Copies of this chain bind each other. A is one copy, B any other.
Amino acid sequence: MTTLSYVPDDELRRARALQLPATERAAIIATLCRINTLYMIMRAGSGHLGTSFSSLDLLSWLFLEELEHPEVSGHADGDIFFSSKGHDAPGKYAVLIALGLLDFELIHSLRRLGGLPGHPDVGTPHMHTNTGSLGMGISKARGMARARRLLGRAGRIVVLTGDGELQEGQFWESLQPTANGGFGELTVIVDHNKIQSDIWVEQVSSLGDLEAKLRAFGWHVARCDGHDFAAIERTLAELKAVADKPKLLIADTVKGKGVSFMEGTALQPDDRLYRFHSGAPTPALYARSVEELLAHANALLAAAGAAPLRVEETPCPERPVLDGMQRMVPAYSQALLAQAARNSRIVALDADLALDTGLLPFEERFPERFVECGIAEQDMVSQAGAMALQGFLPICHSFACFMPPRANEQIYNNATERTKVIYVGSLAGLLPGGPGHSHQSVRDIDILAAMPGMALLEPCCEQEVGLALDFLVDRHAGPGYLRLVSIPCAVNYALPAGYALEDGRGVALTQGEDVVLFGYGPVLLPQAVSAARTLAERGVGVKVVNLPFLNRVDQGWLHAMLGDCQLIVTLDNHYVAGGQGEFLAAQIAQLGLTGERRVIALGVREIPFCGSNDEVLRAHRLDAASLAQELHAIVERSARV
């Protein structure tokens, strides 16, 4: 069993109380925060280490020495700090905990229900705005500053951004008006660690001459080493003196700073990917990391004449066993390779998520047909549309939470040209529950369903992934959206032998006469099938139907599936509003049915909770046990009427 170490509250207090020069104390606190950040992420099983470590020296300095009144969140004239990139949240939590600004016990609940969300949420003290979707920071900061001007309040707004984040159009959209308004209240710090997600920024989409660009927008620009506390202090003091312009500090940092083998600079020339962007390290690497960090902390303490650090130890929670689980994204990788091998019109476009969207095999095999766009979804989608006009079949890739909303107008613009572009949204649906609602995509069906001619599909198992891609490429004339769950799933059903996708149709996975339940995808169908099996034992028959088509249905097939059943349930891994269920209910209402049929919608009804996958399913009452209860209650109510 792996043992995890963290720095307890009293030790954090001891460090804060050390009578030392500010830069030396900050170095100690930052190191303790790295130990605690690592602890939180190991305990959670996921989280963004690399970017938390690159920004931790800056964060520590800001909260210890720079910000005024950070202890009183919302202090009328206090300084506001927030992170625009947001995935450095574990690092910020560690600092807030170290300063006593967050309840210490929260250290044990990163990415857990009721704990600390994977990305910033205003429900947590000292989190001033929700972030996690990139590029919004300066717009938000200017809004805050404008509000404070109207209220006659002082105080600075300090925003931390990533560097990959600077590829987003909104960042540049927000720069000029901020300069035009003379928003000297704003200080933006770019955590310039040079690696975005898993790859060098320079390789993904170079930022060019960043300083020259920012100055050309009328900003005051400074640059310093983001791990040199004296340099940070000096540079921030210089910036404070500039009152009439917004200010931007390019802080040169190292991704994963503080653990030798996690540092981006330790990448070997033939390393394709940086390995510590997100996700917890292996137990072995964890042990090496904490050893290094402890040694460093103790060296700093010894130099300060202080006693060595005492850490608390606790067992690492068991990781779920993933054997035998099905994975949609690798299945997609293979299906795409097969399609691309026989269809030279296919080009694949990516928005800085080639690893997560399964594109690395495609990039390796068809490099000339692979387009890396960086974090620039709008640019990617419009570019794809133009390639379609020139005869190609572009397939755009990103997370389901980002591409459909960020490039919504661009996707529509393409659709009005009546060309064919396929969009693949991975990380779709409520799970994983750890990253929080910025990454839980439960609105993508809604905002794509009305795109003219677009077919939306979500496969329910690896086998159906290839069928769905083939349908979109070979059989559907218009644009398409392939919705992919990214977590490994325990699939407790099998598609029938010889299963083929037929337009607007699906297949029953269980049989039953009391309820017909329509659903899709490998997260909720297994829960529904499990619930149906439970209910079968209690004499309640539930027919669970897999309908991979999210916005189209064959009405004859639908009618046949309904049979004489009076209770119809829809189940969405998505908000109920705008999901497959609402669409199906409307279709059923159009059928003109006899009797006393009722359609009941199950799905996500609240802003998604953050937590472990099991916690989140249960909290939304979408786990097998809750579904069984719910279905049973529906049948009982109906019998009573």
Residue of B with least CB distance to A391: B147
**Considering the chains assembled together, what is the distance between the CA atoms of A209 and B410 in angstroms?**
28
* Option from B167, B208, B369, B598 in Cβ contact (under 8 Å) with A590: B598
**Does A325 lie at the interface of the complex (its beta carbon under 8 Å from any beta carbon of B)?**
no
A385 and B143 contact, CB distance less than 8 A: yes
B170 and A417 contact, CB distance less than 8 A: no
- A26 CB to nearest B CB, Å: 29
Per-position binary interface string of chain A over residues 575-590, scored 1 when its CB falls under 8 Å from any chain B CB and 0 otherwise: 1011001110110111
Using A150-B392, A212-B216, A408-B408 as known contacts, say yes or no to A139 and B386 having CB atoms under 8 A apart: yes
**Does A376 lie at the interface of the complex (its beta carbon under 8 Å from any beta carbon of B)?**
yes
* Option from B139, B169, B208, B585 in Cβ contact (under 8 Å) with A170: B169
**Considering the chains assembled together, what is the distance between the CA atoms of A417 and B131 in angstroms?**
10
B212 and A208 contact, CB distance less than 8 A: no
Among A142, A374, A415, A577, which residue has the most Cβ atoms of chain B within 10 A? A577
Per-position binary interface string of chain A over residues 133-147, scored 1 when its CB falls under 8 Å from any chain B CB and 0 otherwise: 101100111111011
B128 and A389 contact, CB distance less than 8 A: yes
**Does A161 lie at the interface of the complex (its beta carbon under 8 Å from any beta carbon of B)?**
no
- A4 CB to nearest B CB, Å: 31
Binding-face segment, A231-239, A442-450, A535-543, A614-622: A442-450
Residues of chain B within 8 A of A142, CB atoms compared:
379, 383, 386
Residues of chain B within 8 A of A170, CB atoms compared:
169, 378-379, 382, 410
Using A147-B390, A167-B173 as known contacts, say yes or no to A607 and B140 having CB atoms under 8 A apart: no
A410 and B136 contact, CB distance less than 8 A: yes
B405 and A412 contact, CB distance less than 8 A: yes
**Does A406 lie at the interface of the complex (its beta carbon under 8 Å from any beta carbon of B)?**
yes
Query: For residues 424 through 456 of chain A, which have their beta carbon under 8 Å from a beta carbon of chain B?
Result: 437-438, 443, 446-447, 449-452
Residues of chain B within 8 A of A390, CB atoms compared:
143-144, 147-148, 151
Binding-face segment, A48-56, A175-183, A309-317, A485-493: A175-183
A169 and B167 contact, CB distance less than 8 A: no
Using A129-B417, A177-B379, A205-B180 as known contacts, say yes or no to A443 and B412 having CB atoms under 8 A apart: yes
**Considering the chains assembled together, what is the distance between the CA atoms of A169 and B382 in angstroms?**
13
B387 and A416 contact, CB distance less than 8 A: no
A373 and B177 contact, CB distance less than 8 A: yes
A593 and B596 contact, CB distance less than 8 A: yes
- A214 CB to nearest B CB, Å: 8
| Identical subunits present | 2
B416 and A607 contact, CB distance less than 8 A: yes
Using A130-B417, A167-B173, A374-B177 as known contacts, say yes or no to A147 and B392 having CB atoms under 8 A apart: yes
In this complex, the interface size class of chain A, counting residues with CB under 8 Å from chain B, is: 35 or more
Per-position binary interface string of chain A over residues 196-208, scored 1 when its CB falls under 8 Å from any chain B CB and 0 otherwise: 0000000001111
Per-position binary interface string of chain A over residues 556-574, scored 1 when its CB falls under 8 Å from any chain B CB and 0 otherwise: 0000000000001000000
**Does A595 lie at the interface of the complex (its beta carbon under 8 Å from any beta carbon of B)?**
yes
Residues of chain B within 8 A of A147, CB atoms compared:
386-387, 389-392
Residues of chain B within 8 A of A171, CB atoms compared:
169
B213 and A208 contact, CB distance less than 8 A: no
Per-position binary interface string of chain A over residues 361-384, scored 1 when its CB falls under 8 Å from any chain B CB and 0 otherwise: 000000011010110101111111
* Option from B122, B168, B583, B594 in Cβ contact (under 8 Å) with A595: B594
Residues of chain B within 8 A of A206, CB atoms compared:
176, 180
**Does A409 lie at the interface of the complex (its beta carbon under 8 Å from any beta carbon of B)?**
yes
* Option from B129, B596, B600, B607 in Cβ contact (under 8 Å) with A452: B607
B590 and A600 contact, CB distance less than 8 A: yes
Residues of chain B within 8 A of A415, CB atoms compared:
607
**Does A591 lie at the interface of the complex (its beta carbon under 8 Å from any beta carbon of B)?**
yes
**Considering the chains assembled together, what is the distance between the CA atoms of A590 and B448 in angstroms?**
24
**Does A347 lie at the interface of the complex (its beta carbon under 8 Å from any beta carbon of B)?**
yes
Residues of chain B within 8 A of A595, CB atoms compared:
594
Residue of B with least CB distance to A378: B170
- A144 CB to nearest B CB, Å: 5
Residues of chain B within 8 A of A379, CB atoms compared:
139, 142, 170, 173-174, 177
Residues of chain B within 8 A of A218, CB atoms compared:
208-209
* Option from B150, B208, B382, B392 in Cβ contact (under 8 Å) with A347: B150
**Considering the chains assembled together, what is the distance between the CA atoms of A424 and B607 in angstroms?**
23
A378 and B139 contact, CB distance less than 8 A: yes
A140 and B385 contact, CB distance less than 8 A: yes
**Considering the chains assembled together, what is the distance between the CA atoms of A276 and B577 in angstroms?**
43
Residues of chain B within 8 A of A121, CB atoms compared:
416
B583 and A591 contact, CB distance less than 8 A: no
**Considering the chains assembled together, what is the distance between the CA atoms of A139 and B394 in angstroms?**
14
**Does A402 lie at the interface of the complex (its beta carbon under 8 Å from any beta carbon of B)?**
yes
Residue of B with least CB distance to A122: B417
**Does A599 lie at the interface of the complex (its beta carbon under 8 Å from any beta carbon of B)?**
yes
**Does A269 lie at the interface of the complex (its beta carbon under 8 Å from any beta carbon of B)?**
no
* Option from B136, B452, B601 in Cβ contact (under 8 Å) with A413: B136
**Does A217 lie at the interface of the complex (its beta carbon under 8 Å from any beta carbon of B)?**
yes
Residue of B with least CB distance to A172: B172
**Considering the chains assembled together, what is the distance between the CA atoms of A484 and B212 in angstroms?**
43
B592 and A140 contact, CB distance less than 8 A: no
Could you show 19 A-B contacts with beta carbons less than 8 Å apart?
A130-B416, A140-B382, A140-B383, A142-B379, A150-B369, A167-B173, A169-B172, A172-B173, A176-B208, A177-B379, A406-B408, A416-B437, A447-B447, A452-B607, A585-B589, A589-B593, A591-B598, A592-B596, A592-B598
> Assuming A177-B379, A213-B216, what are 6 further A-B pairs, CB within 8 angstroms?
A140-B383, A170-B378, A213-B213, A450-B575, A450-B577, A585-B586
By Cβ-Cβ distance, the 6 closest A-B pairs, closest first, are A143-B386, A169-B169, A169-B173, A172-B172, A592-B598, A147-B390
